[in-house]
Structure 1
Amino acid sequence: MFPKPQVALSPNTFEYESFPLVKPTGFREYDARWLFEKEINLMGVQALGMGLGTLVHEMGVRPDIVTGHDFRGYSSSIKYALISGMMAAGLRVKDVGLALSPMAYFGQFELDCPAVAMVTASHNDNGWTGVKMGANRPMTFGPEEMGRLKDIVMNAAFKLREGGAYEFVANFRDRYIADLTDRPKLKRKLKVVAACGNGTAGAFAPQVLEMIGCEVIPLDVNLDHTFPRYNPNPEDMKMLHAIADKVRETGADVGLGFDGDGDRCGVVDNNGDEIFADKIGVMLARDLSKLHANAQFVVDVKSTGLFATDPVLKAQGAKTDYWKTGHSYIKRRVNELSALAGFEKSGHFFFNKPVGRGYDDGVLTAIAVCEMLDRNPGRSMADLYNAVPKTWGSPTMAAKCADEVKYGVVDRVVERFAQISRNGENVGGHPIVDLITVNGVRVVTDDGTWGLVRASSNKPELVVVVESPVSEARMRDMFKVVDDVLRENAEVGAYNQTI
């Protein structure tokens, strides 16, 4: 009988080597994240694998699963512990080896496996690990599945079965790259900076971009799991500034940055100006809605209000649905609405048929950006960006807040803004005209300025974003309002970055 997981154990002890360690807060809304060794040990990962196998059988899903791992010093060992648990629970595992998350998602289709378990901490700092899971391609788990998985694992309610199997799928990287590059080559010669932050994408993105016809300028593409220059995260200003410097130095047409597991892409224009991903989404929506009349899009509540107000999108009949932040939520909503694409401010982009298969792939996003430029000869990336109505927006800012209390803090913030609205009070000198509470709270004033507070789904943080179509001063006014409300809660700590 497998022992029940413990919520805390001291390393370098008999107990640590004898019991599974699984901190319950590691089960997030739509994936799982832990600090390896402090919050989960290898025996705990094995328990997670047994729990996942139990859940897959409980759901009535054919027990074939794709797995892979990202490039961190400990990811391979975590994957094999996970595999041992999945096999014990009767899953037939196909291991695609070192992979991007979208390569594992591609494996669900290419290898005909309903389920996926990708070992990755995505853009989280070294020390973190996690698993992105799903059992209904192309969707990944949401709160209901993650809640049930947590119950199974923490209560050791495993149902172990015969029939588990393992197969290593050799050279699967080549099949993934061949699928991405099975398309007409670009007519326009583009010079592209490909920045990978020494993460997993370095083994994939530069080659793909070369194969579609780009001249590639590599930046931090050698795999190095110490991430010596910066964390591979295209929302991190350090990475964006490094890309901008290289674009200016080389005269590149565009800079493209990929996160640690390759499911997100950040963009810098030919002038070296960073373009936040939601604005890239607007540009791609403009481009795609020319090709596909009356296109439906889905965007997250962190994204610019331009999806609803842009005159070009309106003229082309495009419709946009604002939905919960999180790759699992947006992916599922894109599927439900049969939307052409979904865009997140974080850089998760989901292209549905005929562009993609509905899952998020940063390399496919990079291809879409290059093809957009190819369809606009004579216009630079900066030209396309400048054609979008001007707004002043912040980067995604994250304030520290413990996992155990962050949702309660958000509830209080939502109620505080609801009270301000009920009382008819102004925020930053303007009345509130809308409170969007589908995911935290998005406070919108009469001039279109807005501010968002929500709980991070994968880290002990609160996420803050502000934007104004009026001025930088109005954006800063809104940030002060939001920050003042946050500071009414002693549990809220410092930001990782700010305006």
Structure 2
Amino acid sequence: MYPKPQPSLTPNTYAYESGPMVKATGFREYDARWLFEKEINLMGIQALGMGIGTMIHRMGKKPEIVTGHDFRGYSASIKMALVTGLMAAGVKVNDIGLALSPMAYFAQFALDVPCVAMVTASHNDNGWTGVKMGVNRPMTFGPDEMTKLKEIVLNADFELRDGGGYRFVENFPEVYIKDLTDRPKLTRKLKVVCACGNGTAGAFAPRVLRELGCEVVELDTELDHTFPKYNPNPEDLEMLHAMRDAVLASGADVGLGFDGDGDRCGVVDNHGEEIFADKVGVMLARDLSKLYPNSTFVVDVKSTGLFATDPELIKNGVKADYWKTGHSYMKRRVNESGALVGFEKSGHYFFNKPVGRGYDDGLVSAIAVLDMLDRSPDKSMADLKDALPKTWSSPTMSPHCADEAKYGIVEQVVKHFEDAKAKGEPVTGQPIRDLVTVNGVRVTTEDGSWGLVRASSNKPELVVVVESPVSEARMREMFHAVDAVLRTHPEVGAYNQTI
């Protein structure tokens, strides 16, 4: 019988090396994230593999899985510990090696395998590890599955059986790259900055863009798991500013930046100005709704209100469906609703048929941006951005808040604004026009300015976003109003970045 995981063990001790450690808070809403060696050890990862394998059997799925790992110094060893757990639970493992998360999702289709477990901490700082997993392509686990997995692992409720196996799938990146590039080349000659933050995408993205016909200016594409300059996160202003400088220095038409596991893409225009991913989504929705009128686009609650108010989208019959933030929530909503695309402010885009297969892939997103430029030969990226109605938006801002406290704090913030609306109390001197509480709270005032507070699903943080269609001053007023509510809770710490 496999030992029951402990919530904490002291490193460099007998107990640490002879039993599993798994901190319960690592089981997030739609994936798993831990600080390696502090919150989970290799035997804990093995237990996680046994748990995933046990779930596969209990859910009646074919016991076969795709796995891969991102470019961190410890990810390969973590993957192999996961593999031993999967095999012990009677699962056949198809290992595609060093990979992007969307490459693993693609492998489910290309290899006809139902399940996936991709070892990645995405854009988290070094020291973090995690797994993105699912058993029903193209979906990944949501809260129900993650709760069941957590119970199985923490209670050591494993069903170990024979039948497991392992094979390494050679040269799988070639299959993935061919799938992306086996199409007509772009007709427009585009110079593109390809920024990878020394993360995994650096091994694949420059080649894909070149094979599409782009002139590529590489920025931090050398793989280096120490991330010497900044974390590969295209929502991070440090990475966006590096992209800006490279675009201006090279005279590029656009800058495209990829996160640590390649499922997100950030954009800088030809003037070096970053375009937040939700605004890029509006631009893509405009482009695609001309080809596919009357489409539905799923949009996360952090995103701009333009999806519902943009005159061009209204003219093309677009329906905006605002939904929960998080790649698993968005992916499921897109697939179950038949929406054409799901757009998330973090840069996760979910292109459904006929554009994609329903999962998030930063390179598919990049290709969609390039195709949009190709279909607008007389317009620059800045021209397309400037054609949108003007709004003033913040980046995603994340004040620290412990995993054990963050959901309770958000519940209290939701109640604060619900009570204010019920009593007719103003926010920033204006009546509350609308509250969306599907994921935290999004409070919108009479003039359309809004602020969002929600709990981060993968880090000990809250998430704050504000926007105004009126002025920068109104955006800042909304931020101060939201922050004032958060400051009544001493558990809420400093922001990672603010406006």
Which TM class, normalised by the smaller chain length? over 0.9
CA RMSD in angstroms comes to 0.4
In structure 2, the partner of 1:10 is 10
Q: How far has the Cα of 1:421 moved from its partner? A: 1.1
Aligned 1:179-198 pairs, distance under 5 A:
179-198=179-198
Following superposition, the deviation at residue 213 of structure 1 comes to 0.5
1:435, 1:376 → 2: CA distance?
Answer: 37
Q: Which residue identity is paired with 1:408?
A: G
Consecutive unaligned residues in structure 2, runs of 5 or more = none
Q: Equivalent residue for 1:125?
A: 125
Partner SS state of residue 390, structure 1: coil
In the other structure, the counterpart of 1:61 is 61
Letter in 2 for 1:177: I
Q: Distance in 1 between matches of 2:198 and 2:115?
A: 29
CA distance in 2, matches of 1:435, 1:340: 26
The one-letter code matched in structure 2 to 1:478 is M
Counterpart CA distance in 1 for 2:346 and 2:91 is 33
Which residue type is aligned with residue 99 of structure 2? A
The residue that corresponds to 2:483 in the other structure is 483
Shift of 1:183: 1.2
Distance across 1 between alignment mates of 2:328 and 2:184: 31
Deviation, 1:55, is 0.4
- Please list every run of 5 or more consecutive structure 1 residues that lacks an aligned counterpart in the other structure: none
Q: Supply the AA of the counterpart residue of 1:379.
A: K
Match of residue 298 from structure 2: 298
Which residue in 2 is equivalent to 1:383? 383
CA deviation vs aligned residue, 1:397-416 (integer Å, no higher than 9, x gap): 00100000100000000001
TM-score under structure 1 length normalisation: 1.00
| Residue number in structure 2 paired with 1:259 | 259
Partner of 2:201: 201
Alpha-carbon distance between aligned partners in 2 of 1:354 and 1:184, rounded to the nearest angstrom: 16
Alpha-carbon shift at residue 423 of structure 1 (Å): 1.5
1:147-175 Cα distance to aligned partner (Å, 9 max, x none): 00000000000000110010100000000
Instruction: Give, in whole Å, the separation in 2 of the partners of 1:161 and 1:190.
Output: 54
Moved over 3 A (4+): none
2:41 corresponds in structure 1 to 41
**For residues 363 and 292 of structure 1, what CA distance do their matches in structure 2 show?**
21
Alpha-carbon distance, 1:429 to partner = 1.0
Which residue of structure 2 aligns with residue 150 of structure 1? Answer: 150
User: Match of 1:260, SS?
Assistant: coil
- Residue matched to 2:404: 404
Alpha-carbon distance in structure 2 between the residues aligned to 1:470 and 1:161: 62
**How far does the alpha carbon of each residue in 1:100-147 deviate from its partner, in whole angstroms, 9 at most, with x for none?**
000000000000110000000001000000000000000000000000
Kindly provide the amino acid, as one letter, of the partner of residue 267 in structure 1.
V
Q: C-alpha separation between the residues in 1 aligned to 2:204 and 2:342?
A: 23
**Could you tell me which residue of structure 1 aligns to residue 312 of structure 2?**
312
Show the counterpart of 2:362.
362
| Amino acid of the structure 2 residue aligned with 1:364 | V
Between the aligned partners of 2:467 and 2:91, the Cα distance in structure 1 is: 47
Cα distance, 1:34 vs structure 2: 0.1
What aligned pairs does 1:16-35 form with structure 2 within 5 A after superposition? 16-35=16-35
Letter in 2 for 1:222: E
Query: How is 1:233-272 mapped onto 2 (pairs within 5 angstroms)?
Result: 233-272=233-272
Per the alignment, residue 289 of structure 1 pairs with 289
Is 2:350 the partner of 1:345?
no
Match of 2:115 in 1: 115
Identity between Structure 1 and Structure 2 (%):
75
Give, in angstroms, the shift of residue 378 of structure 1: 1.1
AA partner of residue 278 (structure 1): D
Partner residue in 1 for 2:277: 277
Could you tell me which residue of structure 2 aligns to residue 335 of structure 1?
335
